[in-house]
Structure 1
């Protein structure tokens, strides 16, 4: 049995086709440091999945990997519960995101999750 706060490989988006499908067909939300796309991929209707994209403009490999870990941790602890089940999410970090404190990342992504969950519910 899977722990509630785990983040296994099945909880991630892996293929670029999944990222592109969400970017084309999903609901978009833009904050000062992140762009988020959310939607349903119909792979597993009970599992929410996350994909994170961080470009080289954010910083070196250490900064990019730290940014991805921080976004995944927030998704695992808080954001997954705020989104409807079965929602897949792509988070794209923008310039300046690596310099943010964890609380600032949390507040931006919380605001985005609230907005996206309302727009997803209104769509269906």
Structure 2
């Protein structure tokens, strides 16, 4: 998967969270999809610098290429989202967790959907103008 819209639509699908990653699975709905299993990988900057993110993506690509042809859901998009501890996890453990996550997705047992995003501000809009009104310079000189 390469298009942003594919990744955004996968977010509406089944979600299976594991300690090292989150797996999103959604039927991609193409009429001629047949047995196609697409996958995408995303790792945010919160995880680490470019070296860490690229290492995690290489590990996920290797797992996806190994496991999805046999264990993936036919006609579905699979998205792996890297989590904080994923890069330090043992590769064999990540492989086992991905197999469990694919099995849960196949049986339709995903995790509870995430709540609405509040942005950490309690639902208040952020306008990018600092933390509030600043006192005038004359008021602070008294």
Report the TM-score range of the alignment, normalised by the length of the smaller protein: 0.7 to 0.9
Q: 5 Å matches for 1:1-124?
A: 13-24=1-12, 26-43=13-30, 44-119=33-108
The alpha-carbon deviation at position 56 of structure 1 amounts to: 1.3
Q: Which runs of 5+ in 2 are unaligned?
A: 110-142
The alpha-carbon deviation at position 84 of structure 1 amounts to: 2.5
2: CA distance between counterparts of 1:94 and 1:61? 15
Equivalent position of 2:124 in the other structure? none
The alpha-carbon deviation at position 69 of structure 1 amounts to: 1.2
CA contact (8 A) 1:59 1:98 kept: no
Give a deviation string over 1:23-59, Cα, whole Å, max 9, x none. Answer: 02x1111112211110111232321011111011222
The alpha-carbon deviation at position 72 of structure 1 amounts to: 1.2
Partner SS state of residue 42, structure 1: coil
Q: Bigger shift: 90-99 or 111-120?
A: 111-120
State which structure, 1 or 2, has the greater radius of gyration over its C-alpha atoms: 2
In the alignment of these two chains, the number of paired residues is 107
Q: Which runs of 5+ in 1 are unaligned?
A: 1-12
Partner SS state of residue 35, structure 2: coil
